[in-house]
Amino acid sequence: MLTCSPACQGGLTIELRCWEYKYRQACFARRQQRIAVSLELRKAKKDEQALKRRNITNVSPDPADQQTKGDSLTLQEIISGVNASDPELCFQATQAARKMLSREKNPPLKLIVDAGLIPRLVELLKSSLHPRLQFEAAWALTNIASGATELTRAVVDGGAIQPLVELLSSPHMTVCEQAVWALGNIAGDGPEFRDNVISSDAIPHLLTLVSSSIPVPFLRNIAWTLSNLCRNKNPYPSDHAVKQMLPALFYLLGHPDKEVLSDTCWALSYLTDGCDARIGQVVDTGVLPRLVELMSSSELNVLTPSLRTVGNIVTGTDHQTQLALDAGILSVLPQLLTHPRSSIQKEAAWALSNVAAGPRQHIQQLIACGALPPLVAVLKNGEFKVQKEAVWTVANFTTGGSVDQLIQLVQAGVLEPLINLLTIPDNKIVIIILDVLFFILQAAEKISQKENMCLLIEGLGGLDRIEALQLHENHQVALTALNIIERHFSEEEETVTALPARDQDHKFLKDLTNTYHCCTTPKPGPRP
């Protein structure tokens, strides 16, 4: 079994680092922020993929069965018929029950359960001489299991899992596919029933069905069921189960069908939503190049989970993040910051924040790929949920970057949108921005350019806003603002130097860069 660190087993509240923190503490804080933001995104997106699916299609393995006498049966007649010894009468009643359960609106799931039909339906799954009956019973149980947890529990407690697993070996494809669907609904209810399905040896049977000759609709059901077997992390699926499924998921990731791809990517996103060891299991299969390719998909249901998976991977170790960088994620992420959907922009910014939380060589790659201009653009004009992730990216960048890298960040125009965001009603983000400004001023101080940086911030209206925040009702906001004023804008340090005009900003930044490169002050050492 893999052993996960306490950090990945629970949500950690990331406290903002104060300006006096040492470099080592900053590194730790950035690593923990990766996990905290990951948890927040997971909660926000937990309903994006269907947990359960009810089969409401009016199909049957035999077209002659579309209209039967069972269509007009009452509930009492269905109960009597399902329990009858005559196979034909039993079939008609079971099919009638299935049709009731397949109504698009208000299917009587609980009514059928309360009628005590589940034990008999489970028994009918074993009627190998009557595959049509097996199919109808499996379909009825599939739809019952699509309901609330208490209904799924009734199916599980009725003993349905083992006979459904055995039907995965049925020579009749329609029966086999319906069993896959039923098991997917059971596994999708939560970790308890997921593990019940896994312990019944369902995975090896499912994997034998994955082949190039299987019809695409059937393969979609298999991919979806596998994704539900990967889902949930309290607890995670067993290490053995994950190792069983990963080769099949790698194979399915190469399939052209968008629904197969979508569910496969969701499965990988669940498996990477954890500690470094679990991320490593997925990365070691070699999926990263294909995931990066899928991040350019025009299909939102493929783009979203592939981006999610890559975002999870870069919450891992610096080595795992480097593998993602080597696979080309930075050729895609900056473009996704301009995606028409704000949800994609948000996840792209979140992924970039994880890259920025790495060592300086990762930050340099982020600069080199041209990520700063679109990052500044979303800080200026993005929806607030995207701006928040962009602020985290800048914060991680500022905390871990070199003086030279911070200068390039300022040159990209980050100060103006950050200062404008100081008026938002989110205290946590305001504190982060104040810390960013403090780090930038600290960097300017190291190259004897603090006065010019102060003038630039003041010219953008930053000084007025920071001064106003000293009176903020939130104590931490007020204290952080006070620290900046006392350290960098105190009266003792004021001079009669005129403020630079806005059209002189670029010249000032150019001079600042030249000054830095000529400066003999050594750069800070590498992060521990």
Band of residue 55 on the pLDDT scale cut at 50, 70, 90: confident
CA distance 93 to 68: 10
Residue 209 belongs to a domain:
no
CA distance 437 to 462: 9
Whether omega before 235 lies within 30 degrees of 0, making that bond cis, reads yes
Q: Rounded to an integer, what is the distance from CA 12 to the centroid of its chain? A: 17
Three-class SS state of 487: helix
Residue 450 belongs to a domain:
yes
What's the mean pLDDT in 40-44?
A: 39
Residue 470 belongs to a domain:
yes
Provide the percentage of residues in the chain whose pLDDT is more than 90: 79
CB half-sphere exposure, 418, CA atoms < 13 A = 30
Q: What is the pLDDT of residue 320?
A: 98
Q: pLDDT per residue over 287-304, tens digit each?
A: 999 999 999 999 999 999
The angle formed by the CA atoms of residues 261, 266 and 269, to the nearest 5 degrees, is 125
Q: pLDDT per residue over 316-373, tens digit each?
A: 999 999 999 999 999 999 999 999 999 999 999 999 999 999 999 999 999 999 999 9
Q: Give the domain extent around 447.
A: 375-489
Per the structure block, which two tokens stand in for 430? 């305001």
Report the candidate in 482, 411, 472, 474 with the shortest Cα–Cα distance to residue 440: 411
Residue 73 belongs to a domain:
no
Residue 34 belongs to a domain:
no
The angle formed by the CA atoms of residues 370, 375 and 378, to the nearest 5 degrees, is 145
Per the structure block, which two tokens stand in for 95? 């099919």
CA distances from 268 to 9, 259, 305, 309 (A): 18, 14, 8, 6
Helix H segments across 318-449? 318-326, 333-336, 342-356, 360-368, 372-381, 384-400, 403-411, 415-420, 427-446
Residue type (1 letter), 68: T
Q: What is the pLDDT of residue 344?
A: 98
Q: What is the pLDDT of residue 9?
A: 36
Residue 399 belongs to a domain:
yes
What's the mean pLDDT in 142-157?
A: 97
Q: What is the pLDDT of residue 72?
A: 79
More confident residue, 31 or 138: 138
DSSP class of 299: -
Give the chain's radius of gyration (CA, Å).
29
CA distances from 57 to 66, 71, 457 (A): 12, 15, 63
In the chain, how many domains are there? Answer: 1
What's the mean pLDDT in 151-171?
A: 98
Helix H segments across 284-317? 288-294, 300-313
Band of residue 50 on the pLDDT scale cut at 50, 70, 90: confident
Give the CATH number of the domain where residue 451 resides: 1.25.10.10
Contact 437, 484 (CB under 8 A): yes
Q: Please enumerate, as own/partner, the contacts of 421-425 that have beta carbons within 8 Å and a separation of 24 or more.
A: 421/379, 421/387, 421/391, 422/462, 422/465, 422/466, 422/469, 423/465, 424/384
Q: What is the pLDDT of residue 63?
A: 44
Conformational region of residue 106, where left means phi above 0, alpha means psi within -120 to 50, and beta covers everything else: left
Residue 196 belongs to a domain:
no
Report the candidate in 52, 102, 96, 108 with the shortest Cα–Cα distance to residue 72: 96
Mean pLDDT of the chain: 86
Q: pLDDT per residue over 410-430, tens digit each?
A: 999 999 999 999 999 999 999
Q: pLDDT per residue over 250-286, tens digit each?
A: 999 999 999 999 999 999 999 999 999 999 999 999 9
Q: Which residue's structure tokens are 């350290």?
A: 487
Band of residue 49 on the pLDDT scale cut at 50, 70, 90: low
CA distances from 135 to 6, 179, 480, 511, 521 (A): 45, 8, 66, 77, 77
Which of 31-40, 206-215, 434-443 shows the lowest mean pLDDT across its residues?
A: 31-40
CA distance 6 to 275: 9
Contact 327, 292 (CB under 8 A): yes
The angle formed by the CA atoms of residues 41, 47 and 48, to the nearest 5 degrees, is 80
Handedness of CA 139, 145, 148, 151 (dihedral sign): positive
Count of positions (residues) in the chain: 528
Q: What is the pLDDT of residue 177?
A: 97
Q: pLDDT per residue over 219-259, tens digit each?
A: 999 999 999 999 999 999 999 999 999 999 999 999 999 99
CB contact burial 424-452 (16+ within 10 A = b; e otherwise):
eeeeebbbbbbbbbbbbbbbbbbbebbeb
Q: Within a 10 A sphere around the Cβ of 44, how many other Cβ atoms?
A: 12
What's the mean pLDDT in 95-117?
A: 95
CA distance 398 to 414: 11
Q: pLDDT per residue over 467-518, tens digit each?
A: 999 999 999 999 999 999 999 998 654 443 333 433 444 444 445 544 433 3
Per the structure block, which two tokens stand in for 526? 């590498």
Q: Which residue's structure tokens are 């990988």?
A: 268
CA distance 159 to 451: 75
CA distance 40 to 11: 9
> Could you tell me the pTM of the whole model?
0.84
Q: CB neighbours of 256 closer than 8 A, spacing ≥ 6? A: none
Residue 481 belongs to a domain:
yes
Contact 362, 329 (CB under 8 A): no
